[in-house]
Amino acid sequence: MAKLIGLGLVFADDGWDHHMDWDGGWWVVMVIGMVLFWALVIVGIVWLVRELSGGRGGRPGREPSALELLDRRLADGTISPADYHERRAILEKSQSAGKGSGS
């Protein structure tokens, strides 16, 4: 009976010298897998922080300027091109007058 146990231990110990085929280059696959795993974890954390902070797009809390709103209204088709040019001229005139008197 002792011989059977001894024989079983020899068979169980047979794979230790091969390091489960890690010498065959499988460590490269593990390194790549680990790098991909941690990259996904970091991207997930960055995404979660951005979603929770509400910072999508430009600066959070920044109001669009009057000209940006006017451009958006033209793009949406809310106003006609003639109306757009008229309002843009008024806005540009008021902005240039505001800059000149501010000095």
The tens digit of pLDDT for each residue in 52-81 reads 987 655 555 678 888 899 999 999 989 999
Asked whether residue 49 is domain-assigned, the answer is no
Q: Which residue segment(s) compose the domain that 84 sits in?
A: 66-101
What is the length of the chain? 103
Asked whether residue 77 is domain-assigned, the answer is yes
Token readout for 36 is: 């991909």
pTM: 0.37
Q: Number of structural domains, the chain?
A: 1
User: At 3, which helix (H) or strand (E)?
Assistant: helix 2-13
Q: Pick the residue with more confidence: 9 or 23?
A: 23
Asked whether residue 88 is domain-assigned, the answer is yes
Asked whether residue 79 is domain-assigned, the answer is yes
Q: How far apart are CA 56 and CA 96, in angstroms?
A: 31
Q: What is the percent of the chain where pLDDT is above 90?
A: 35
